[in-house]
Amino acid sequence: MMDLKELADIMFPDVVETREELEKKYPERNLPDGAEVTRFAPSPTGFVHMGSLLSAFEDFKAAKDTNGVFYLRIEDTDTERTVENGITGILTDLKTFDIVPDEGMISETEEKGIYGPYIQSKRKNIYHVYAKDLVQKGLAYPCFCTKKELDETREIQELNKERIGYYGSYAKCRCLSCNDAIERIKKGEKYVVRLKSQGNFNNKIVLEDRMRGRIEFPENDMDIVIIKSNDRLPTYHFAHAIDDHLMHTTTVMRGEEWIPSYPIHHELFKVLGFKEPQYAHLGLVLKIDEEGVRRKLSKRKDPEASVSFYHEKGIPPEATKLYLMTIANSNFEEWFLSNPTGKLKDFKMDFEKMSESGSLFDVEKLFNITKNYISRMTADELYDASLPWMKEFDHELYELMTKYPDYTKAIFNIERGGEKPRKDYASFSDIRSGIWYMYDELFKNLNYEYQKITDKEEIKKILNIYFTKYYDISDDKETWFNKVKLMCDELGYASNMKDYKKNPENYKGNVADISTVIRVSITSKSQTPDLYEILKLLGKDRIKKRISLID
Ligand code: GLU
């Protein structure tokens, strides 16, 4: 035992704290029963791709559903994946979806919460406390094998068709005496720290995955690296066990690529004496491509795989979250259909309703949801929500919207608020094409989209008669439409579509053709929301001005 203590001291001379002292700094969390503590644990790569974003959303949702805590931990032990300002990029991406961690890193250098540091490179001493403890207990040891030696072992294993790895008789340094190890360390030889696995490959262990159910594995018997040699930082495995223990994570949601590592984690939790968290291993985010083939959503091929897509398009975060919920839980869509005005917080996420085979991403569906969502906002809400986006991406419209706030809200209000609101906008970037013609400042370089009636003289005649004889801004909608019909009768157009369909040859056209002439002359567009409302909002003088533009 004395030897092990000496070995541990020489390996970790800076560690003065004991495990017990350290653990006191990470007390149990004071949370209600059933509260989930979840975390998003990316490398600081500067961006979040859609797969990770979905998992961050699910972490966030699980915590919110249970009055728990969702925190952001930065896993920067793989220094090759670290980029400058990588945390800021991640926070910005999360913010696009309004996923704001309760705890953890809040900027490149600052953090919030008492379970930190929330960035792994600043936790080195913590990992060393546990690694030292394991060495002292004979459950971890220094390994001096060079890359060349490890390659040779691998070749032999391949040749013998054996399992690849550092285990059993292949784990050469496992049997080094403490004295030999101490001597080699004193000589300055480089080493990693390995777990001295207590496992037997012939035993079975079971993972009760929260979404996948029971998965059986052989027990781990690999002496995996827990502390690397150059930077003396931990491997993912070791850091995972220690961090999720100290931070009291209740459920670890992570990509399915980690499933095969579970036996390692199971053993680490056991030898460290920690209670294992629950796990949910999430499927990939997939899409069906043009050929109907399911494939992984690709950042290179699919614009919607980048979080910047949502920001640049101007999709309200709440709408995107509704969409993420539809791909996270197979029963959400049905719930949402029967609760179309329902809020996300009213739906509880269910791990068992997550798809093991992957979540299917479908932009069409996303836009259906966002259209629905935007159509149910009030004009005021839409104005407030879209203004910051305009400021960043459409300054011209931003200035008009701020110059004429009430007028803009009145435009937004056309065909809004009823049982069946118009669904023109899938994102804020669609707004311009829906309303630009309502601003005189933008009403130039026009391309009039006349349809059936194109003859200039006829158009002028219709407009002239309509606006001098029939149009009255104070008419209610019914009177207004009746007058359009009256004019049809006067000019030889069918005011009744049924009559027109029976005998089209008896008419020059029909009431729809006449409405189109008025619509196009005033807006230049053949498709707009309610013409009656548009005319009312523009007012007589501006209508007159617009007519005068038609030569
Ligand atoms: N840093 C790990 C990754 O990016 C996190 C996995 C986990 O959530 O535990 O894959």
Residue of 47, 240, 276 with the most ligand 1 atoms within 8 Å of its CB, for mutation: 240
Would the CA dihedral through 180, 183, 187, 188 be positive or negative? positive
Cis, peptide link before residue 218, omega less than 30° from 0:
no
H/E run at residue 216: strand 213-218
CA-nearest residue for atom 6, ligand 1, is: 254
Class of 2-17+124-282 per CATH? Answer: alpha beta
Q: Note whether 509 and 453 are within 8 A (CB).
A: yes
Q: 130 alpha carbon to ligand 1 midpoint, in Å?
A: 21
pLDDT 10s digits, 476-512? 999 999 999 999 999 999 999 999 999 999 999 999 9
88 pLDDT band (50/70/90 cuts)? very high
Say whether pLDDT at 79 is over 80.
no
The pTM for the full model equals 0.87
Ligand 1-lining residues (CB < 6 angstroms) = 41-43, 75, 240, 252, 254-255
Beta strands in 24-169 (DSSP E): 37-40, 69-72, 103-105, 111-112, 140-143
Class of 456-548 per CATH? Answer: mainly alpha
| CA pair distance 44, 138, nearest whole angstrom | 34
Q: 144 alpha carbon to ligand 1 midpoint, in Å?
A: 28
What does the pLDDT average to over 26-44? 97
User: What's residue 47's pLDDT?
Assistant: 84
Say whether pLDDT at 1 is over 80.
no
pLDDT 10s digits, 162-219? 999 999 999 999 999 999 999 999 999 999 999 999 999 999 999 999 999 999 999 9
Q: 91 alpha carbon to ligand 1 midpoint, in Å?
A: 16
Say whether pLDDT at 415 is over 90.
yes
Q: 60 alpha carbon to ligand 1 midpoint, in Å?
A: 15
85 pLDDT band (50/70/90 cuts)? confident
Arithmetic mean of pLDDT over the chain? 95
Say whether pLDDT at 259 is over 80.
yes
Q: Note whether 384 and 504 are within 8 A (CB).
A: no
| CA pair distance 523, 21, nearest whole angstrom | 74
Say whether pLDDT at 431 is over 80.
yes
Q: 455 alpha carbon to ligand 1 midpoint, in Å?
A: 66
3-state percent breakdown (helix, strand, coil) of the chain, nearest 5: 50, 10, 35
Domain parsing of the chain, residue ranges: 2-17+124-282, 288-350+357-375, 379-438, 456-548
What does the pLDDT average to over 111-133? 97
Q: 542 alpha carbon to ligand 1 midpoint, in Å?
A: 60
Ligand 1 atom at minimal distance to the Cα of residue 254? 8
Residue of 75, 123, 262 with the most ligand 1 atoms within 8 Å of its CB, for mutation: 75
CA-nearest residue for atom 4, ligand 1, is: 42
What does the pLDDT average to over 269-275? 98
User: What's residue 2's pLDDT?
Assistant: 63
CATH fourth-level superfamily of 288-350+357-375: Glutamyl-trna Synthetase; Domain 2 (1.10.1160.10)
